[in-house]
Amino acid sequence: MKLILGGYGVMGRVVEGLALERGHEIVGIFSLQDSENAPYPVYKDIRDLPRADAIIDFSHPKNTSELLRGASHHKTPIVVATTGARDQLQDLMDQAAEYCPIFFSANMSYGVHVFTKALKFLTPLLSDGFDIEILERHHNKKIDAPSGTAIKLLEAIQSADTSYFPVYDRSQTEHKRDKKEIGMASLRGGTIVGEHEVLFAGEDEVIELTHRAQSKRIFADGALKAAQGLQDKQKGFYTFDNL
């Protein structure tokens, strides 16, 4: 595939490396900011983008928004991997999907997708006698909390039982937890790639489901596979569920 990278930050470089290993070609970078030392042409105007098979964007909401607004012009399939911005970008993704295939996931790891499936299965079985908590850990440079993936896990639980609701801060709480609350905890430190844990705590027993990303390559791998999957798709909005 001929690929355009949305931005050339840490994840852009990871996607670049894996794409080149697999025989794909990087034909340019779309970035509203200067990308120093980028070995490819950098475009700031949607109208100047070269023809490509897909755009993979791991940048930030402002950059992603411009790519989506330009979909009516470039009509290139876009893999949106920008974290912590779904609410902000959803309307734009829906509009862009009228012109080209758009793929979105809060986490590009297929393992996390399977994790959400497991939660949808387990929640009805454990909702009566178990309390649920979600804990996520990331590196000290991550700017959003809770992570988009933690919210994705919460939504998976809520899709199985709509009575659950999140609690983000218990520092001022002076009463016992509600049976249907889900505590959302975020830790930031070091170079942790990404860890997500869902705890089902019952009477005298605990069930823990954990996903640990050991390399950023798993996210690049998922994005490349998504881009490949969009090649035979009509315009529309896609996730791991319908790709």
pTM score above 0.75 = yes
The phi, psi pair for 33, rounded to 5°, reads -105, 160
Residue 25 has pLDDT above 70, yes or no: yes
Name which of 74, 63, 82 is nearest 101 in CA terms: 74
User: Which tens digit of pLDDT belongs to each residue from 67-94?
Assistant: 999 999 999 999 999 876 777 899 999 9
Instruction: For residues 147-152, give the mean pLDDT.
Output: 92
Q: Which residues are catalytic?
A: 138, 142
Of the pLDDT bands very low, low, confident and very high (cuts 50, 70, 90), residue 36 is: low
User: Which tens digit of pLDDT belongs to each residue from 118-135?
Assistant: 999 999 999 999 999 999
| 72: its two tokens | 């009516």
Three-state SS string over the chain comes to: CEEEEECCCHHHHHHHHHHHHCCCEEEEEECCCCCCCCCCCEECCHHHCCCCCEEEECCCHHHHHHHHHCHHHHCCCEEECCCCCHHHHHHHHHHHCCCCEEEECCCCCHHHHHHHHHHHHHHHHHCCCCEEEEEEEECCCCCCCCCHHHHHHHHHHHHHCCCCEEECCCCCCCCCCCCCEEEEEEEECCCCCEEEEEEEEECCEEEEEEEEECCCHHHHHHHHHHHHHHHHCCCEEECCCCC
Task: Give me the domains of the chain, ranges plus CATH numbers.
Answer: 2-108+217-238 (3.40.50.720), 110-213 (3.30.360.10)
Confidence (pLDDT) at 79 = 98
